[in-house]
Structure 1
Amino acid sequence: MNALKLILLVAVIWLPTVFFFSKSTPPEVQENYVEMEDQVFELQKSLRMLQEMNRDLKYKLKELVLEEETAREVTLKKRKGMWSKHSYNAGEYERGRRKLERGLWEILISLSLNDSVRSTNYREHTENKLVSLLATSSKLDLITDRKKSSLRSITDIIQKELNTSQHIDDCSKVKFLGCSLPGSCGFGCQVHHLTYCLLVAFASSRVLVIRKNAWGYHREGWAGAFHPPSTCQLPEEVNWSTKESKATDERSPAPSVNSLETPFSDQKFFSLDPIMTSSYRPDYLPLSIPKPVADQLIALHSNPPVFFIGQFARFILNPKPSLQKFVDISASQVPFNSGPIVGVHVRRTDKIDWKEAKYHPVSEYMRWCEIYFQIQERRLKHPLRRKVYVASDDPSVIREIREKYPNYDVFGDVAFAESAQNHSGRYSERSLRGLVTDVFLLSKCDYLVCGLSSHLCRLAYELMQVVHDGDAGDRVRSLDEMYYFGGQHPHEYVAIEEHTPQYSKEISLEIGDVIEFKTNLWNGYFEGGGEVENCGISCFGEIFEIFSMK
């Protein structure tokens, strides 16, 4: 702008001078002045064009800087338009019902495990009363059909959008996100890694491709057993990264590291490291839920992040016909449609040997199976035949349950457990068939008793949210961890009432305090992070879990 003013000033001074001297100069000099005058006007014209180009460049630069945010906002608006058609408002009633049911469960768990309650008669009487209250609580869900319909519609829409995002007509125009199967972990861990990859691919409008490398479970790799997530093939000229990543504690979020490149960048191919070691830490990682569907899910579902993650896990686990046929034959031998059945997953061998999980006897699992059936009998007002589907990597578990619990119909294949028991046979096609069958059949059960420290248990729980109509978020009893997704953002709770500590281990709370919980200790206490130590059973009613919406 200053340059233009200078040119104009020069022109104002120059043109009168030219006019004055044109009266007394030869014709050839006058021609030179006219030519110079034309050049000045051309220069002014060029400067105006440069200014316009400069403005255009500034706008384009601004667009590039905001490219990721704009792309995500456009995608979110499109999805909100689709998902909002199935909105549903449960209001305070639904939140109150969930608070009541969760509080009852916490008291029941605390009573059953707390040795300080010395009177056996008192404890049994209280537990029976709580079972009755839980049965009543489940009846309070007066709007089940509407909830089922809405959740089913959201599931259909998400699956359709996943399918549309990964099956592109013109593959030459797509951007790819590459994902390798980590060789240092088992089947459940690998599926969760692919689920994370699909989540990032979906958010960044990329097509997911799984590296065609050796896979212990199948000689032809992932594509030998499952349909690939996309029909597009990665161009041959693309080189995969060979960088190895070191494993870390999957329950602790990885540190955030700034990176110049993200999946939203312009490059044709982006290779994604495992979530535990990746420097890419977007805000939409679990346990976040997407804004377009957040209000509906919070109203409809007791655990919205698990519902959303389950959609991606189900899309990844798409068996090819031969494997699907094997699963279907096994499922046909279990009476899923003739009364409630509980899925029991008992992880032993390496989880116990490597101190990744605490040992729990069979009796602990069966205790919660019995409590579930007692609640259902109170609710339905008629006796129920006890049925369990048992999955384990220890064949003796299935035999023990059959021997010690003759009043239970026990379903489960000992051969599956035998193939998973030894490390040498665990990574094989035979073992894969057993693992896939177990996880799908566990997800079809009405209730799940397991340890959520196990990837397979968490995977079955995630798939339950897609397999079952309605809210299956409360259909699990974990003997160890609360639900988590490796590398996730932390569990956060907000205080909705003030709390004065009742015991020495507890903390005080003010309304609005946000607490991060690492795990539920299942003894009436949550273990917190940072400055927070513990939140006991007496403060459970004063906190409410909050979810990040991205």
Structure 2
Amino acid sequence: MRWKKYFPSIFVVIIFVFFGSQFALIVYNAKMFHETPQRVVPKNYQCTTVRQNPETTVKVGKKVEKIIYKLQNPKQCKSARKLICILLAGGCGHGCLIHHIGICLFLAIGTNRTLQLHFDTPTYTKDQFESAYLPLSETCNEVDEHELATSPSMQGNGSHETTEHHKVVKLEIEDAFIPFTNFAPLTIPTQLKSALDGAHDRPHHWWIGHVLAYVTRVQPSVKVDLKQLKRKLGFSNPAVGLHIRRSDKIINEAEFYSLEDYMYHVTNLLGLHRAGNSRMNVFLATDDPSVYKEALRKYPTYNIMTIHENSLSALWKREKQESFFGIVHDLQLLSECDQFVGTFSSNVGRLVYSLMLVKSRKESLTVCSLDDDYMYYKRIRRYQEVLTEHKPTNASDEIELQVGDIVHINPSYYKCDQRCFGTNARNRKTGFYPAKKVKEYAQPVMYRGFGWDNDL
């Protein structure tokens, strides 16, 4: 046939197009990673030190783990009250997925239900998720298809579930979800609040950490992998965790920060652990393979560790299984560090912070975010409690504060560096006020599934 004589030419064109597109992608990524204008950021921006009494928090934490485990493992699954969480978000990354499951677990604990997961997303499957993480339940892990089809959607109002009389309810979780009960991030079980009173600076963040820590309990095989990786890397504490997220993140969601921006904070944190002339440990997780080489060249006195294969798979094979395990490994090792530097615009950055609050056995933990304050999408309103009286100065945009006032931070001004912007619940006045005169407020809510039994 005539077309056969054109086959060599067609083959050459195909090869040229394929490799040409790959080369263009490399050039594009290089441009994004290294030619993006670097902006100067305040070097003390968004570093927060969280303090705790480890003797108390570790003891209470073990009890919390038992409570969640007991609720998630009913003796008779068929007769148990259940919440089927339907995960829908197709573009949801790893950190996003864990936070979405956390939303459902908050609701399940608050309404005294066992949580079951149903994956309806092209990004992740249940088998893939459980290849790295333990099932949420050992006794009630498989969703009944009939219950999935016939159960009503969960509904609520404040601290009341309006579908309470249904034994099984379901809930679709996607980006547009808005909390309809107070069983959500930034609240804390009433039963837990007094136990942590004075023992932790951020008890509601600590509670979030324990909910997400239950979701991210790793399989025994992953524990073996982590042990081998730590031996290969020479991973040891004290160490600072460093997460640098770029690639698609700086295209649509976040700004570019240079390695120097991150390392300024790393250097300060390493000073907390400096002993003699020993090299300081930094564990680096990134989706930009060039960052590790740059760090070795510019900071030769630091012991910078990274799993190089993970940055490559995160860049080129994000949808593959090896990338999935790569982020699992990075996430676990970052959370085992003593301090953390990253960005809270990233779900992974916020997740690392949450898990560190659970794993830390030290009296203080410092985290530095180069962009946002800590947040949890699908949260309730963020509140602060006034510690010191404030009278407005000459600034006409400030409001008066009295000790004990509760202030709601305006979502449009969520960053709270030197000054915050919110509404005083006492007099309904809205304006700015000094950040140093308030502290984060943990709103207590009665979680019905949180049985604070003395025998646990």
Specify if TM > 0.5. yes
Are 2:54 and 1:154 equivalent residues in the alignment? no
Alignment CA distance shift 1:464-1:284 (3 Å): same
Structure 2 counterpart of 1:526, from 399, 405, 420: 420
TM-score by length of 1: 0.64
Counterparts of 1:426-465 in structure 2 under 5 Å? Answer: 426-465=318-357
Aligned residue number for residue 384 of structure 2: 493
Aligned residue number for residue 211 of structure 1: 118
Alignment CA distance shift 1:279-1:160 (3 Å): same
Q: CA RMSD in A?
A: 3.3
Structure 1 counterpart of 2:90, from 154, 176, 183: 183
Structure with larger RCO (C-alpha < 8 A, sep 6+): 2
Distance (Å, rounded) in 1 between the aligned partners of 2:185 and 2:347: 15
Distance (Å, rounded) in 1 between the aligned partners of 2:189 and 2:44: 38
Alignment-mate amino acid for residue 375 of structure 2: Y
Aligned residue number for residue 415 of structure 1: 309
Alignment CA distance shift 1:429-1:243 (3 Å): farther
Structure 1 counterpart of 2:257, from 338, 341, 360: 360
Alignment CA distance shift 1:522-1:322 (3 Å): same
Distance (Å, rounded) in 2 between the aligned partners of 1:505 and 1:388: 46
Are 2:441 and 1:546 equivalent residues in the alignment? yes
Distance (Å, rounded) in 2 between the aligned partners of 1:429 and 1:443: 21
Structure 1 counterpart of 2:180, from 281, 284, 293: 281
Aligned residue number for residue 70 of structure 2: 164
Identity of paired residues, percent?
Answer: 25
- Structure with greater proportional strand content: 2
1:105-132 deviation digits (Å, cap 9, x = unpaired): xxxx96757xxxxxxxxxxxxxxxxx9x
Distance (Å, rounded) in 1 between the aligned partners of 2:121 and 2:144: 19
1:149-173 deviation digits (Å, cap 9, x = unpaired): 2211111111111111111221221
Aligned residue number for residue 317 of structure 1: 216
Aligned residue number for residue 31 of structure 2: none
Deviates more, 1:514-523 or 1:148-157: 514-523
Shift of 1:318: 2.4
Contact 1:342–1:445 under 8 Å retained in 2: yes
Distance (Å, rounded) in 1 between the aligned partners of 2:407 and 2:234: 43
Are 2:201 and 1:302 equivalent residues in the alignment? yes
Distance (Å, rounded) in 2 between the aligned partners of 1:363 and 1:287: 33
Aligned residue number for residue 391 of structure 1: 285
Alignment CA distance shift 1:357-1:506 (3 Å): farther
Alignment length (residue pairs): 392
Alignment CA distance shift 1:170-1:520 (3 Å): closer
Query: Which consecutive residues of structure 1, in runs of 5 or more, have no partner in the other structure?
Result: 1-108, 114-130, 245-255
Aligned residue number for residue 13 of structure 1: none
Contact 1:215–1:221 under 8 Å retained in 2: no
TM-score by length of 2: 0.77
1:427-472 deviation digits (Å, cap 9, x = unpaired): 1110011100111100000100011111001111111122222455
SS at match of 1:286: coil
Aligned residue number for residue 483 of structure 1: 374
Alignment CA distance shift 1:534-1:395 (3 Å): farther
Distance (Å, rounded) in 1 between the aligned partners of 2:43 and 2:298: 25
Contact 1:151–1:470 under 8 Å retained in 2: no
Distance (Å, rounded) in 2 between the aligned partners of 1:305 and 1:298: 11
Alignment-mate amino acid for residue 366 of structure 2: R
Distance (Å, rounded) in 2 between the aligned partners of 1:470 and 1:206: 34
Shift of 1:358: 1.9
Aligned residue number for residue 20 of structure 2: none
Aligned residue number for residue 246 of structure 2: 348
Alignment CA distance shift 1:408-1:161 (3 Å): same
1:233-289 deviation digits (Å, cap 9, x = unpaired): 333322349999xxxxxxxxxxx9869x94752223211132753465212312011
Aligned residue number for residue 119 of structure 1: none
Distance (Å, rounded) in 1 between the aligned partners of 2:42 and 2:104: 38
Structure 1 counterpart of 2:148, from 239, 249, 252: 239
Contact 1:110–1:522 under 8 Å retained in 2: no
SS at match of 2:329: helix
SS at match of 1:418: helix
Counterparts of 1:112-123 in structure 2 under 5 Å? Answer: 112=44
Alignment-mate amino acid for residue 408 of structure 2: E
Contact 1:500–1:509 under 8 Å retained in 2: yes
SS at match of 2:374: coil
Are 2:221 and 1:326 equivalent residues in the alignment? no
SS at match of 2:444: coil
Contact 2:240–2:283 under 8 Å retained in 1: yes
Deviates more, 1:268-277 or 1:179-188: 268-277
Alignment CA distance shift 1:217-1:306 (3 Å): same
Alignment CA distance shift 1:479-1:522 (3 Å): farther
- Structure with greater proportional helix content: 1
